[in-house]
Amino acid sequence: ATPTAVMVATGKGASLGVLIKGGNALEKAHKVTAIVFDKTGTLTVGKPEVVSVMLFSSMSMEDFCDMAIAAEANSEHPIAKAFLEHARMLHQKIESNNQPNNQHLKEARDFEVHPGTGVSGKVGDKMVLVGNKRLMQTYNVIVDPEIEDYISENEQLARTCVLVAIDGKVAGAFAVTDPVKPEAEQVILYLRSMGISSIMVTGDNWATATAIAKEVGIEKVIAETDPVGKADRIKELQMNGLTVAMVGDGINDSPALVAADVGMAIGAGTDVAIEAADIVLIKSNLQDVVTAIDLSRKTISRVW
Ligand code: ADP
Ligand code: MG
């Protein structure tokens, strides 16, 4: 495409809320034959809500929440934010019955983020883990059948289950639900009519991922992948001769956004993802994946 055509398309994109960072992405987007979508925050709204909290130990709900709050306090993950909000609400209820106190404002020491699995930290003299089963495995925490049942019940309902371990034992768990974006299904269907196949790649577990994929009409799912794994899947698709776009919102998506032929970041996503991408979908609407490809097609066929 001519520099003028690129300039026109870039301007047009900007007015539509599709920020195109360079001519290269514009040259490539019309060739895309496969699009890899992240799940949380990309296909889903990204505002999970806690719908269930379950204790698997004799500790009080209040103490349990305090531990988990402290561990999640410094996490930027949407699941952490959902839990903090929910726990605060629970606390308000508990506090109105008891004496209010300030002991809930604890923060974990030695806080660590484990990308794609959860967080860890020390609260008082206790080691707290908040995350999925893989995080528990990493720390050799045993997940009892009773807990397994709670997990699979929730996953079948497309919910994500989070375990909280204190000093090496699962003390409780909570489940979050994160609805799919209203436009997701239509966009996937439309892309298929354009000859573009859609694939979901997520750090979340297989059961939840499969349930969400079904809701939006995606047939190919790759779950339980870490950030490097996401990028590797992109490279595999490219080696199979596909031209691949990646759509994502998280820090965990940035290697994949870079590896893809065209990286598209959700505008509401993290700064790291936005920096790693070639195209930013300012409105965070999946319809603009099609808008971006359309802009590229028009540029190449010299519509303007
Ligand atoms: P996705 O690829 O769908 O955006 P992530 O890679 O961000 O998902 O996270 C994968 C999984 O890791 C989550 O579904 C959750 O089980 C767990 N996880 C990650 N961060 C946290 C956290 N701060 N608190 C609880 N669970 C977490
Ligand atoms: Mg995400």
pLDDT in 10s for each residue of the chain, 304 residues: 788 989 999 999 999 999 999 899 999 999 999 999 999 999 999 999 999 999 999 999 999 999 999 999 999 889 999 999 998 888 776 666 655 554 555 789 999 999 889 999 999 999 999 999 999 999 999 999 999 999 999 999 999 999 999 999 999 999 999 999 999 999 999 999 999 999 999 999 999 999 999 999 999 999 999 999 999 999 999 999 999 999 999 989 999 999 999 999 999 999 999 999 999 999 999 999 999 999 999 999 876 6
> What distance in Å separates the CA atoms of residue 9 and residue 302, rounded to the nearest whole number?
10
Taking CA atoms only, the protein residue closest to ligand 1 atom 8 is 203
Nearby residues of 9 by Cβ (< 8 Å), 6 or more positions away: 1, 20, 26, 295, 296, 298, 299, 304
Q: Is 121 exposed, middle or buried (0-12, 13-18, 19+ CB in 10 A)?
A: buried
Nearest one of 106, 5, 35 to 261, comparing CA atoms: 35
Per-residue model confidence (pLDDT) at position 3: 87
Q: What is the DSSP string of 249-264?
A: -SGGGHHHHHHSSEEE
Per-residue model confidence (pLDDT) at position 93: 66
Per-residue model confidence (pLDDT) at position 253: 96
Q: Is 273 exposed, middle or buried (0-12, 13-18, 19+ CB in 10 A)?
A: buried
Taking CA atoms only, the protein residue closest to ligand 1 atom 18 is 118
> What distance in Å separates the CA atoms of residue 101 and residue 68, rounded to the nearest whole number?
17
Taking CA atoms only, the protein residue closest to ligand 1 atom 7 is 116
**Contact of 254 with 234, CB cutoff 8 Å:** no
Per-residue model confidence (pLDDT) at position 76: 85
CA distances from 293 to 9, 30, 45, 252, 267 (A): 11, 5, 22, 24, 17
Q: What's the gap in Å between 283 CA and the centre of ligand 2? A: 16
Mutation test of ligand 1: which of 67, 77, 114, 170 has the most ligand atoms closer than 8 Å to its C-beta?
77
Q: What's the gap in Å between 243 CA and the centre of ligand 2? A: 22
Q: What's the gap in Å between 41 CA and the centre of ligand 2? A: 5
Per-residue model confidence (pLDDT) at position 88: 84
> What distance in Å separates the CA atoms of residue 174 and residue 130, rounded to the nearest whole number?
10
Per-residue model confidence (pLDDT) at position 301: 87
User: Which stretches of the chain are DSSP H helices?
Assistant: 3-16, 23-29, 61-72, 78-97, 133-138, 145-156, 184-193, 206-216, 227-239, 254-259, 271-276, 287-300
- Write out residues with Cβ below 6 Å of ligand 1: 38-41, 72, 75, 77, 79-80, 116-119, 130-132, 160, 162, 202-204, 250, 252
**Length, in residues, of the chain:** 304
| CATH 3.40.50.1000, the chain: domain bounds | 3-46+180-300
Ramachandran angles phi, psi of 216, nearest 5°: -100, -5
Mutation test of ligand 1: which of 132, 136, 154, 253 has the most ligand atoms closer than 8 Å to its C-beta?
132
> What distance in Å separates the CA atoms of residue 41 and residue 104, rounded to the nearest whole number?
29
Q: What's the gap in Å between 9 CA and the centre of ligand 1? A: 36
Q: What's the gap in Å between 78 CA and the centre of ligand 2? A: 9
Hey, which residues are catalytic here?
38
Ramachandran angles phi, psi of 198, nearest 5°: -115, 140
Q: Any idea which ligand is nearest the CA of 268?
A: 2
**Contact of 211 with 158, CB cutoff 8 Å:** yes
Domain 3-46+180-300 has CATH 3.40.50.1000: yes
CA 2 to chain centre: 37
Closest atom of ligand 1 to CA, residue 76: 23
Closest atom of ligand 1 to CA, residue 201: 2
Per-residue model confidence (pLDDT) at position 47: 92
SS3 144: coil
> What distance in Å separates the CA atoms of residue 201 and residue 158, rounded to the nearest whole number?
15
> What distance in Å separates the CA atoms of residue 221 and residue 210, rounded to the nearest whole number?
7
> What distance in Å separates the CA atoms of residue 193 and residue 61, rounded to the nearest whole number?
50
CATH of 49-177, one of 3.40.1110.10, 3.40.50.300, 3.30.413.10, 3.40.50.970: 3.40.1110.10
| CATH 3.40.1110.10, the chain: domain bounds | 49-177
Closest atom of ligand 1 to CA, residue 42: 4
**Contact of 43 with 281, CB cutoff 8 Å:** no
> What distance in Å separates the CA atoms of residue 220 and residue 237, rounded to the nearest whole number?
12
SS3 112: strand
